[in-house]
Amino acid sequence: MAAAPLQDSPGAKLRRRLATAWYGTRFYALTLPRRAPLELPVLPDDPWLGTVANADRLFQGRFLFAGAEVVSPHAAPWALSAADAGLDPVSHAAWAAGLHGFAWLRDFATQGGDMARRMARSLVADWIARHIVPICGLPWQPQIAGRRLTQWLLAAHFLLDGADESFGHDFLLGIARHTAHLKRAAITAPPGLPRFDAALGAVYGTEALGEGQDMAALHALCAVLDAQVLADGGHVSRNPSILYRLLRDVVALWRFLHAIDPERAALLQPYLDRMAPMLRFFRHGDGGLALFHGAEEEVAAQVDLALELSGAKGKPLNSATPSGFERAAAKRALLLLDAGAPPPGGKARGLAGSTPHSGLLAFEFSHGKDRLIVNCGASRRPGGGWAAALSGVAAHSTLCLGSTEPAASATVTVTRNEQDGAIWFEAEHDGWRATYHRVYRRRIYLSAGGEDLRGEEIVTESQPSANGGMPVEAVLRLHLHPGMHASLIGSGDTVILKTAGGQGWRWRGMGGMVRLEDSVYLGGGGDLRRTQQIVMAGSAGTEALVFKWALTKIN
């Protein structure tokens, strides 16, 4: 069963605008609770650790979210404009969503101690004083309000320990008002992750207030998951990091519900049973994730913990057809191939300002804990030139044709073959049919021993062209992980690679001009690292252009 497409109809957009206008009125505010509950009958525990370095940064008045840092040493920059923050509007919106989403409370809780608790409590109290009314603007977008409510409740033990009566009253009233609002407004959040965040907050608030017998919020969350989690457990964005984030959120909620009512928790179990094996699908030998469609490596130990707490023991598939990926494992080698069509646009993916990646038929290859061939990754900051550049075909280990990105409507076909332990793929996409009348075919072979990887890149005419077969430049790019050292030797068609551990590999190519060029890698925590790429270039005319290459381990 495939997930429902994440599309917003014109009618839904109109309803959202009307609802937003109503929520911002004084009359709507009067419909929300005006008395704080005496207590929260149950509170969740947060199974995830934050980062002490982030807490230290906040103590210094440095607010780093979505790849952008704003310095405000004297007060939290709740109302700072894009111009004042020195950010473009897209980057500012993503930064402000991180600020008002309060996920950074986890960093204070991880640091621990009275000073961290007082600082966190002060920031929450300041937000409540400034923004609890009216229900309008970016801070009250349903997805941001949902994330904030979730984080407030996950940090509630930490915040309420030793708190005075005034803070306790305002905090509990804030919980009640957020919950009542989200139970109405979650459905108006844009489809994708925004709607999940809003629905998640509504469930947490409902359960914490002791209203769990009302199953409407939980059923609404399951409907949101049905629209995003594919039959093989992947996420419709085709981004492994989004899948990881979704799994963490569902695991935490599942644990909370299981402590209250195992029958309610059982509603989430099918999603865990699908998502956990798919997350294993994307893990390289170093424990991190592959870099497809905006993903990062993530922290291997935390990925381990998410999988352990999920309780799902399923093994990864070889062919994840609904998600559009293929996986070939041979001894210590792992090959992951992007075998699907481009994902939906940025808004449907649920990442403000994001751009789908056009790395059709891109692949990554690792051996043991060494990543050899990778994609470049993505910038955490959604605005600016880096986000666009890293989403382009040239930032992926695949073939580029001319100066045009492959069409978003491209058709992709992949055939998997296996014999005597060897695995090979025959793949094709027509993303340049309209612009250059060309079809790209890729063949990749992995030996049974995992120490011999071979590729064949073919560009042919899709039909006789009106321009008489005007040649088009074809460039194969194989981006190397920063841990690799590369040297071009011999007649210029051979590259010797050495891993950080000193293991040698030999790459040889024929059919085009081979060179080494600079590249970048943003797979580790958003930090830009310099690296290299193997480039093979040629001209695709009326005759088929064929690049052949082989990567073999030096024993």
In a domain, 7, yes or no: no
56 and 158, same structural domain? Answer: yes
Give the number of domains in the chain: 3
354 and 289, same structural domain? Answer: no
d(CA 433, CA 472): 12
In a domain, 61, yes or no: yes
539 and 418, same structural domain? Answer: yes
Confidence check: pLDDT of 523 > 90? yes
Lowest mean pLDDT across 73-77, 384-388, 397-401: 384-388
265 and 180, same structural domain? Answer: no
480 and 365, same structural domain? Answer: yes
206 and 77, same structural domain? Answer: yes
In a domain, 56, yes or no: yes
pTM score of the predicted model:
0.94
Domain stop point among 296, 323, 350: 323
In a domain, 5, yes or no: no
Radius of gyration of the CA atoms of the chain, in A: 25
Confidence check: pLDDT of 398 > 60? yes
348 and 469, same structural domain? Answer: yes
Domain stop point among 262, 296, 323: 323
User: What's the CATH code of the domain at 435?
Assistant: 2.70.98.70
In a domain, 179, yes or no: yes
DSSP 295-306: -----HHHHHHH
Tens-place pLDDT, residues 134-186:
999 999 999 999 999 999 999 999 999 999 999 999 999 999 999 999 999 99
Percent of the chain's residues with pLDDT above 90? 85
255 and 127, same structural domain? Answer: no
Q: In the structure, what pLDDT confidence band is assigned to residue 381 with cuts at 50, 70 and 90?
A: confident
Q: In the structure, what pLDDT confidence band is assigned to residue 2 with cuts at 50, 70 and 90?
A: very low
238 and 144, same structural domain? Answer: no
Q: Phi and psi at residue 215, in whole multiples of 5°?
A: -85, 0
Percent of the chain's residues with pLDDT above 70? 95
- Domain residues for the domain of 235 are 229-323
Confidence check: pLDDT of 464 > 80? no
Q: Phi and psi at residue 340, in whole multiples of 5°?
A: -120, 170
Q: In the structure, what pLDDT confidence band is assigned to residue 352 with cuts at 50, 70 and 90?
A: very low
d(CA 392, CA 546): 23
pLDDT at residue number 349: 39
Domain stop point among 277, 295, 323: 323
In a domain, 316, yes or no: yes
Please give the angle made by the CA atoms of 393, 394 and 398, to the nearest 5 degrees: 70
- List % helix, strand, coil for the chain (3-state, nearest 5): 40, 25, 40
pLDDT at residue number 377: 94
367 and 349, same structural domain? Answer: yes
In a domain, 4, yes or no: no
In a domain, 2, yes or no: no
Tens-place pLDDT, residues 84-140:
999 999 999 999 999 999 999 999 999 999 999 999 999 999 999 999 999 999 999
202 and 77, same structural domain? Answer: yes
238 and 212, same structural domain? Answer: no
